Chains A and B, each alone.
Chain A
Amino acid sequence: MGYAIEIEKLTKNYGKARGVEDVSLKVAEGDIFGFIGPNGAGKSTTIRSMLGFLKFDQGKITILGMDSVKDHEKILAEVGYMPSEAWFYNSMKVSEVIAYAAAVRRKDCRKEAEMLCERLKLDTNKRIKELSLGNRKKVSIVCAMQHKPKLFIFDEPTSGLDPLIQKRFFELINEYVDQGTTCLLSTHVLSEVNKYCRNAAIMREGRLMMLDSHEIDDDTFLSYYEEDES
């Protein structure tokens, strides 16, 4: 089986501040991989390095068999990314944002986008500035899924979404994964890891540790956070 994500000895520092150190990670194709850890542990730094937002100091990242630096554009064409804070251009309508994302990708995604908006109950006639965080997250989901990418990278995707939409969101992930998509899910929600993920790793103080099982009990889960505070 091939790997959708291969990270080898990734190190990224922000001046004197710690980013991530010597992180190695492999996510198999077709996996739903849980990426957990306290705030500031380095999850977003790892994700943002994968996507080329950050210039890392050392290491190598391979996404879908392509080098993250050399094949940056090709990788982004095959990735659906949802950032933790979903921000767009305030003056644009939801429909315009979705159409813009598809147009830049040079794909006709209207049918898929329509299906996603219907299932997520997203009003496409509203302007971005009129939307709550939850509704902006829905726009982000549509933009990440409408082009049927080979890899999803979701950074705390469910914050702000109501329980029904959360359920539908994971139903959608499972449907896409059944068709061959891989999903990296960064989250603080234990139930999401236990229920939907097949493998998981925890990030603490800039270092990564693979977990033997994605099924974690509350006490173990919280201990990852408590130890970090001490």
Chain B
Amino acid sequence: MKRVFLNECKMNIRTFLIWSLVVGGLGFFCITLYESMQGDMENMADAFSKMGAFSDAFGMSTLSIATIEGFFATEVGTVHGLGSAMFAAILAIGILSKEEEGHSGEFLFSLPLSRKKVLAAKGLCVFAALLGFTLVCTALYIAGFAFLGEELPVKEFALFMSGQFLMNVEIAAVCFAISALSGKNRMGLGIGIALIFYLYDIIGRVVPDLKDYIFVGPFSYANASEIFSGAEIRTAAVVIGIAVALLAAVSAFVCYERRDLAA
């Protein structure tokens, strides 16, 4: 199992580096832009905060984008949220199905390993990649704050990055379960799932009648604007997130154990 895990990590290292450096680098770049845009932001912040549902959706009614916290939450929060969700989905949705699509499954599954062990090794690889992704981005965002000489709001920042990590794990678990069911790499579906979760959260924040239901989606407990404005994260949202991730992971094991593997 250890060898499969290491081999899987090795095969995914390029994807991991590209995504973590691109998303983290974009976040770093956004942070460093703050100083040069600060003057203009002060004029724009007031206007942005009075755009009704749009301001609510992107958190600009509660946070001023003229502050570094507000700027980080609205700009980097969106970039990191979308980027990390897509990385999690793309990585997880292909990790099992690629064996059947690429016909390497007959080689892998002829080795003395149970399907459970293969699944566990691949699941651990996804988890490790998401953890590594979060750590790389965290380091780059901290570097951005240090570059500007701004104080990092440690508590909110830690909550945001932890929430994002859990959100990534939840999305990855859902895609992992789909990968266990499908003999083909459904990358498009993975990206679609990440975007649907994101849109669900945005629509829920724009449409007043849906506001009470956004806690079901994974983006709800990792919303940067809410976290940086000090709003309390609903425990139910986190519990649902963990439950969905566990249920999806268990489903992946049960389905993969029972189904025929394509040649």
Contacts and interface: CB of A to CB of B under 8 A. Distances in A.
Contact of B7 (A48, A100, A105): A100
Contacts of B112: 73-74, 76-77, 104-105
Given A77-B112, A83-B263, A55 B103 contact: no
Residue in B102, B104, B109, B112 whose Cβ sees the most chain A Cβ within 10 Å: B112
Contact of B261 (A44, A54, A103): A54
Contacts of B114: 72-73
A88 B110 contact: no
A193 interface: no
A52 interface: yes
A87 B106 contact: yes
Nearest to B4: A104
How many chain A residues sit at the interface, stated as a range, is: 20 to 34
A79 B110 contact: yes
B110 A55 contact: no
Helix, strand, loop or mixed for chain B's interface? loop
A76 B107 contact: no
Interface in A115-142: 140
A53 B261 contact: yes
Interface of B: 3-4, 7, 11, 102-107, 109-114, 258-261, 263
A53 B107 contact: no
A76 B263 contact: no
A53 B242 CA distance: 32
B69 to A, nearest CB: 43
A51 B113 contact: no
Contacts of A74: 112
B102 A87 contact: yes
Given A53-B261, A55-B260, A85-B263, A104 B113 contact: yes
A222 to B, nearest CB: 26
Contacts of A83: 106-107, 110, 263
B263 A51 contact: no
Contacts of B105: 53
B106 A105 contact: no
Contacts of B3: 100, 103-104
Contacts of A73: 112-114
A170 interface: no
Given A72-B114, A73-B114, A87 B107 contact: yes
